[in-house]
Chains A and B, each alone.
Chain A
């Protein structure tokens, strides 16, 4: 998994790229958390999933974990551009009630 970020005003955009599973999530988690720590003055983190070619339920756990971390900083969270498969999994999990799809 690759992650890139862009700070736009008060918002932190995180662009994920690759296949998100139990294997790839391990290093992704650390890199994402480091970016959140460095940008903790932002108001909201927006996870852009356009580059995620594959995701299983690992993605739900990963996003929930980041949501909890962001909450401790008082930051909000949103999801952008999931593909049909990711959208199906995220809708099923009810996660959009915590982090809206924008």
Chain B
């Protein structure tokens, strides 16, 4: 088992930093390119949510924790921001709380689809926690497809 913790400010330039750090941490598990791409996309979605929705007005801390467990990578993304009052609504594909800002409302749908396990908890006014797991087990042939 390996673990890491990352803490960074909610600046949009840190999206590329966060997804690449998590991808680099996952490399010893021998992910296929496709699996690694799924992880990067899911992390990018979770971190973007923190920047755009949790802390819309100022720069505060975002936490990313990773833990390996056999061929699995557990990722937890946390913020202490605004929180989500209606989780079912937030998880609805194409729902966005910011219409008119060219947002697709597909962030959570992508996290749920690209990862093997997904769990969202949130307390309005206190923060949000996204827990996701990716199981690596694809073959190189999967990349060739």
| Chain A residues within CB distance 8 Å of chain B | 19, 21-23, 26, 29, 54-58, 60-62, 64-65, 84-85, 88-89, 92-93
Q: Is the CB of B15 within 8 A of A84?
A: no
Whether A92 lies near B107 (C-beta < 8 A) is no
Which among B101, B102, B110 is the interface contact of A89 at CB below 8 angstroms? B110
What 19 additional pairs, Cβ within 8 angstroms, besides A22-B52, A64-B104, A85-B34? A19-B16, A21-B12, A21-B15, A21-B16, A21-B48, A23-B12, A23-B15, A54-B16, A54-B40, A54-B44, A56-B45, A57-B45, A57-B103, A57-B106, A58-B104, A85-B41, A89-B110, A92-B110, A92-B113
Asked if residues A23 and B104 are in contact (CB atoms below 8 Å), the reply is no
B37 at the interface (CB under 8 A from A): yes
Given A23-B12, A61-B102, A61-B104, A56 contacting B110 (CB threshold 8 A): yes
**How distant is the Cα of A23 from the Cα of B52 in the complex, in angstroms?**
11
How far is B10's CA from A79's CA once the two chains are assembled, in angstroms?
32
- Per DSSP, chain A at the interface is helix
Chain B residues in the interface with A (C-beta under 8 A):
12-13, 15-16, 19, 34, 37-38, 40-41, 44-45, 48, 51-52, 101-104, 106-107, 109-110, 113-114
Bound Cα distance from A93 to B16, whole angstroms = 22
Instruction: List, in ascending order, chain B residues with CB within 8 A of A60's CB.
Output: 104, 106
- Ranked nearest first, the 8 interchain pairs of A and B with the lowest CB-CB distance are A23-B12, A60-B104, A61-B102, A65-B102, A56-B44, A57-B106, A85-B37, A61-B104
Contacting pair A57 B12 (CB below 8 A): no
Query: Who on chain A is nearest to B51 by CB?
Result: A22
